[in-house]
């Protein structure tokens, strides 16, 4: 498999109870040499919406479910502490900021409350997670041989969207969801800032567009998405396995193509 180049000892995925997050967890667990630790973070691990994750965890000793509300700084700190305890002195190789929300509001119906909530989840959450997990990512980078950046060493991957591309003309026809698109454009800038700020720590940072995927969110805009979760996730893991120094701070899609800012 072309994912063979991706050798991570530990990975944390946010929003891991369904959709792309759950797909990523499944693929990591199914790798020929899976990570020693797969941390699956979600809001309500005991709830109905995390049932599939619970079923997986009961069969997979290397899967640890972490309660995490990405809009709550205390929850983020607690999650980082819990992950640190499990890792017991080794670092975290890969942080995948996948948790995200959307709401179908137009230019006319957008509100302060709605825009703030979506920005807090989709943009501020990944910023705070980067801060909280920096010491563990740092530790992974220091413990990894060689200086070249890679996802096997230490990386932050932010799940973005084509909808956040300011340069792309076709996004508007597909989704006039203002707050979501603004939050993803801001997430792209955050990715750029993280790539510049964390380079000296040996941490690669990139934004990924997963494709228009058949998930609850993907289907919420009324048409049928074109990409399955499985195809998207396999594609993204291939992309992660090939990311190198030159790719830090870039915005790529699930097939490895550059998405315009």
- 12-16, 223-227, 247-251: which range is least confident on average? 223-227
Is 88 among the domain residues?
Answer: yes
Is 5 among the domain residues?
Answer: no
Q: Give percent of the chain above pLDDT 70.
A: 93
Residue 1 binned pLDDT confidence (cut-offs 50, 70, 90): very low
DSSP annotation of 31: S
Res 176 pLDDT > 90: no
Are 180 and 163 in contact by the 8 Å Cβ rule? The answer is yes
Q: What's the number of domains the chain is made of? A: 1
Tell me the residue range of the domain where 196 lies: 10-253
CA 118, 40, 79, 11 dihedral sign is: negative
CA 158 from centre of chain: 5
Is 259 among the domain residues?
Answer: no
Cβ atoms < 10 Å from Cβ of 244: 11
- CB-based burial, 177-202: b 16+ in 10 Å, e otherwise: bbbbbbbbbbbbebbbebbeebeeeb
Is 149 among the domain residues?
Answer: yes
Is 48 among the domain residues?
Answer: yes
Is 4 among the domain residues?
Answer: no
Q: Check which CATH number belongs to the domain holding 178 and give it.
A: 3.40.50.720
């Amino acid at each position: 498999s072309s994912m063979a180049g991706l050798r991570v000892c530990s990975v944390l995925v946010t929003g891991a109870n369904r959709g792309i997050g759950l797909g990523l967890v499944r693929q990591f667990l199914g790798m020929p040499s899976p990570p020693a630790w797969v941390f699956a973070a979600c809001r309500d691990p005991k709830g109905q919406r995390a049932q599939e994750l619970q079923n997986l965890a009961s069969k997979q000793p290397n899967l640890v479910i972490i309660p995490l509300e990405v809009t709550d700084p205390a929850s983020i700190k607690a999650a980082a502490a819990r992950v640190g305890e499990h890792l017991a002195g080794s670092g975290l190789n890969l942080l995948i900021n996948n948790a995200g929300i959307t709401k179908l509001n137009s230019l006319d119906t957008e509100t302060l409350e709605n825009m703030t909530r979506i920005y807090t989840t989709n943009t501020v959450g990944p910023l705070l997670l980067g801060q909280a997990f920096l010491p563990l990512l740092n530790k992974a980078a220091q413990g990894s041989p060689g200086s070249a950046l890679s996802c096997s060493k230490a990386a932050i991957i932010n799940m973005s969207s084509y909808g956040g591309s300011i340069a792309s003309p076709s996004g508007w026809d597909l989704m006039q969801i203002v707050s979501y698109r603004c939050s993803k454009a801001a997430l792209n800038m955050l990715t750029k800032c993280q790539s510049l700020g964390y380079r000296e720590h040996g941490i690669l940072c990139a934004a990924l567009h997963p494709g228009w995927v058949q998930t609850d969110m993907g289907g919420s805009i009324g048409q049928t998405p074109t990409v399955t979760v499985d195809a998207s996730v396999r594609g993204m893991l291939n992309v992660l396995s090939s990311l190198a120094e030159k790719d830090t701070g870039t915005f790529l899609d699930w097939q490895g193509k550059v998405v315009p800012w």
